[in-house]
Amino acid sequence: KLDSIEKLAKKLGASVSESCVNAVDSASFHIARGEVVGLVGESGCGKSTLGRMVAGLLPVSGGTIRFEGVDVTDAASADAKTARLRIQMIFQDPMSSLNPRMKVEEIVGEAAVYHGLTTRREMSAYVAGILRQVGLDPAYAQRFPHQFSGGQRQRIGIARALAVRPEFLICDESIAALDVSIQAQVINLFQDLRRELDLTYLFISHDLSVVEHIADRVVVMYLGRIVEIASTEALFDDPQHPYTQALIDQVPRLGAGRQTYRTIKGEIPSPLAPPPGCHFHPRCPMAGPRCTRDTPVLRNDAGRSVACHLHDGGTE
């Protein structure tokens, strides 16, 4: 039994990462300094995998990820190691990533001491400064993770990431587990930190209304491939890819006047056996014969990037 689970996990990992690499390759997906890029799509489409690859937490085969010119996927290089430190990831569930036996001071300060950003002797003051930055009382440094609420724990997770002085934060569903009122507070914190620290974000979320609020630009993924990239305004006002149209149609409308598209049908297929041609064709209301044969390429036209035959010669 264990053996077959391992095999499945291996297969899954290989399949998902392979398709993600293709997406990154063909899209030459770029994030400018200071920008907030939202990465959206249903769960299982490879968003987290891509995020982890960018953070250097998952290997990339057959592609490169560059951070200010340095290939972060080069495990052997010292430059890549330094670059990876400047990229930090913030996860959905801080409880599972915070050591329950460690005090907040140690959790937040440990990596900063290890990387020489502060010393053991000065760690308390260093951590106090960072706790203030994320809106926590510095006295909390002497407490343990279980003594905090979910929102406070997420702030501790953010403090731990900030402690190594990152420039680029990858937030993977970082507010998904929080109550709605707390979500707004944490989003505000991300926006304040962006201004104060000149941070860049990759904001991974299945929640389009949050992404519309926080992102400058949005990347839409479906089954390991990027299907559309556009400015947030353009994407929500005038989505081009049928999958994006379906996704946006599911978002409760704040203002009237948005065009209505057909609702998305069916379940997301297994990434182990994605449909041939356009991965989206079994669910797409616009699909034609060509969609089952040819893989659409992400094409850039006037600042909009779309991977769909409708925008590239037709579906016949």
Interaction site with ligand SF4 (CB under 6 A):
241-242, 278, 280-281, 284, 286-287, 291, 296, 308-310, 315
Residues 33, 34, 40, CA angle at the centre, nearest 5°?
Answer: 95
Q: Which does 178 bind (CB under 5 to 8 A by kind): Mg ion, ligand SF4, none?
A: none
Q: Does an H or E element contain 71, and which?
A: strand 70-71
Q: Which does 247 bind (CB under 5 to 8 A by kind): ligand SF4, Mg ion, none?
A: none
For position 315 contacting Mg ion by CB under 5 A, the verdict is: no
Q: Give the helix ranges, DSSP H, for the chain.
A: 2-27, 47-54, 78-85, 94-97, 104-114, 123-133, 150-162, 180-197, 208-214, 232-237, 242-249, 289-293
d(CA 173, CA 95): 14
Selected range binding Mg ion among 13-21, 48-56, 119-127, 138-146, rule: CB under 5 A: 48-56
Q: For ligand SF4, which is the closer residue by CB, 47 or 309?
A: 309
The DSSP code sequence of 249-300 is: HTSPPSSS-PPP-PPP-SPPPPTTSPPSSSTTGGG-TT--HHHHHSPPP-EE
- Inter-residue contact 143 to 135 (CB < 8 Å): no
Q: Which does 48 bind (CB under 5 to 8 A by kind): ligand SF4, Mg ion, none?
A: Mg ion
Q: How far is the CB of 241 from ligand SF4 (least distance, A)?
A: 6
For position 49 contacting Mg ion by CB under 5 A, the verdict is: no
Q: How far is the CB of 111 from ligand SF4 (least distance, A)?
A: 43
The DSSP code sequence of 158-177 is: HHHHHTT--SEEEEESTTTT
Q: For ligand SF4, which is the closer residue by CB, 133 or 315?
A: 315
Q: Which does 217 bind (CB under 5 to 8 A by kind): ligand SF4, Mg ion, none?
A: none
For position 48 contacting Mg ion by CB under 5 A, the verdict is: yes
Q: How far is the CB of 312 from ligand SF4 (least distance, A)?
A: 8
Selected range binding Mg ion among 44-52, 148-156, 175-183, 242-250, rule: CB under 5 A: 44-52
Q: How far is the CB of 280 from ligand SF4 (least distance, A)?
A: 5
Q: How far is the CB of 228 from Mg ion (least distance, A)?
A: 19
Q: And the tokens for 288?
A: 């034609």
- Residue 94 one-letter amino acid: P
Q: Interface with Mg ion by CB under 5 A: which residues? A: 48
